[in-house]
């Protein structure tokens, strides 16, 4: 897996999630590193994901008993050990040969829910079997469940077939990606592809992403014809809902208007996300969309579950999103990096790092359970100052 003999630091030295990123960079081939770390255009969307977490401050309360803590949080009716989950990530075989089965085993041991990507390195049935096998070994004590992230292909028969496979395998919920009418311009990937075309003497080889998966993209984010449907629209939720007959989350919502449309179409949740900064240039962060929703459509929080995803690197920040009404937060790249450098032990350690940070912050914030979190426990003024505001001609009735 490594492109040289350099080994990652001892796992005990991974104190923050950023430590996993540095370790992964040492062991990953350049091609795999570029694919995982790259973003759209100049990287503004990715940078805003990272920066906006630090632009919200806590307002801690004191002299409140925190001698016992309850950090558990249910997602779509399923109990979970933490208020965060593992986000969907494609082609994990490029991080570690254990790929998705290894990731879900580690997450299951920690009681985390995991969203499995359409663009898997291993068959979705094999991934589910790894999860179920781990559950058996744990005596079915883990609350962990698997969800499936769906890229809707152009061929509706193919889409129906895939949904039926997911349903038959036992996945709990379907997370439909709605921000990929096309793929974003992944600049670092483009440079790498151009160099490869010029330098035919390159000896570095990395298996094509999702080479064994007809639904996966080619390596470097190059689209496969028919893989993404630019014609996907709100009407498609009707046949998808009938085919699935279970909880549905729309992944990639970036405006309050679309949150309201999601409510009107009866889905059970929305994932506010800009695809890890990999799609549209200058996208809003999930936190910005969360604030926009709180400001212009607060009723949404009583009508469906609202998740956020993108740029999370510190467990303490999970609580910021929950204070603002989020149900839970998705974590992606840190798990990719942790698995790349340390395998299943990295997955478990990454979870421990985030969980400890949540526990420490809950105590210092003055809450013993997540239902005690309130909007007045954070100061989001800096983000609110830059939040989108309607023009004079616009009014809330147009939502």
9 lies in some domain: no
Residues of the domain holding 193: 16-388
Confidence grade of residue 2 (pLDDT, cut at 50, 70, 90): very low
Tens of pLDDT along 303-359? 999 999 998 999 999 999 999 999 999 999 999 999 999 999 999 999 999 999 999
Q: Is 105 annotated as a binding residue?
A: no
59 lies in some domain: yes
Q: Is 391 annotated as a binding residue?
A: no
Question: In the prediction, which pLDDT does 227 show?
Answer: 74
94 contacts 209 by C-beta, under 8 angstroms:
yes
8 lies in some domain: no
CATH number for 173: 3.20.20.70
Q: Is 291 annotated as a binding residue?
A: no
Structural domains counted in the chain: 1
The residues carrying an active-site annotation are 275
Q: Is 192 annotated as a binding residue?
A: no
Quick check: helix, strand or coil at residue 308? Answer: strand
71 contacts 362 by C-beta, under 8 angstroms:
yes
**Which two tokens mark 179?**
């921000």
395 lies in some domain: no
**Which two tokens mark 206?**
């990395």
Q: Is 151 annotated as a binding residue?
A: yes
Tens of pLDDT along 197-235? 787 765 444 444 455 566 665 555 566 666 778 889 999
β-strand 57-58 against 378-379: which pairing, if any?
antiparallel
Q: Is 278 annotated as a binding residue?
A: yes
**pTM, two decimal places:** 0.90
206 lies in some domain: yes
Q: Is 177 annotated as a binding residue?
A: yes
Is the confidence at residue 1, as pLDDT, over 70?
Answer: no
128 lies in some domain: yes
204 lies in some domain: yes
Distance CA 184, CA 2 (A): 28
**Which two tokens mark 314?**
């510190």
């Amino acid at each position: 897996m490594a492109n040289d003999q350099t080994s990652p630091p001892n796992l005990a030295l991974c104190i923050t999630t950023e430590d996993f990123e540095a370790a992964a960079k040492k062991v990953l081939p350049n091609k795999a590193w570029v694919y995982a770390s790259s973003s759209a255009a100049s990287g503004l969307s990715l940078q805003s994901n990272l920066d906006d977490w630090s632009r919200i401050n806590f307002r801690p309360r004191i002299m409140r008993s925190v001698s016992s803590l309850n950090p558990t949080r249910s997602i779509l009716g399923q109990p979970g050990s933490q208020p965060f989950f593992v986000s969907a990530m494609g082609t994990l075989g490029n991080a570690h040969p254990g790929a998705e089965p290894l990731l879900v085993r580690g997450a299951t041991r920690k009681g985390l829910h995991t969203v499995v990507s359409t663009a898997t390195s291993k068959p979705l049935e094999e991934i589910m079997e790894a999860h179920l096998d781990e559950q058996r070994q744990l005596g079915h004590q883990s609350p962990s469940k698997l969800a499936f992230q769906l890229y809707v292909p152009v061929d509706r028969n193919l889409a129906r077939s895939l949904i039926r496979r997911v349903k038959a395998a036992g996945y709990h919920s379907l997370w439909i990606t709605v921000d990929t009418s096309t793929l974003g311009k992944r600049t670092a990937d483009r440079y790498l592809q151009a160099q490869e075309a010029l330098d035919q003497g390159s000896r570095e080889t990395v298996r094509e992403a999702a080479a064994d998966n007809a639904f996966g993209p080619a390596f470097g984010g190059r689209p496969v014809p028919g893989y993404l449907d630019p014609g996907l629209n709100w009407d498609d939720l009707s046949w998808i809902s009938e085919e699935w007959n279970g909880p549905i989350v729309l992944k990639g919502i970036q405006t309050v208007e679309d949150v309201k449309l999601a409510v009107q179409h009866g889905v059970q949740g929305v994932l506010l996300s800009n695809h890890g900064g990999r799609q549209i240039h200058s996208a809003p962060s999930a936190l910005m969309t969360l604030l926009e929703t709180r400001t212009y459509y607060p009723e949404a929080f009583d009508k469906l579950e609202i998740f956020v995803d993108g740029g999370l690197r510190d467990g303490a920040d999970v609580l910021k999103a929950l204070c603002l009404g989020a149900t839970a937060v998705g974590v992606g790249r840190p798990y990719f990096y942790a698995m790349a450098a340390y395998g299943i032990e990295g997955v478990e350690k990454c979870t421990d790092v985030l969980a400890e940070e949540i526990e420490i912050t809950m105590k210092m914030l003055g809450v013993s359970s997540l239902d005690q979190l309130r909007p007045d426990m954070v100061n989001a003024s800096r983000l609110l100052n830059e939040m989108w505001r309607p023009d004079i001609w616009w009014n809330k009735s147009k939502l």
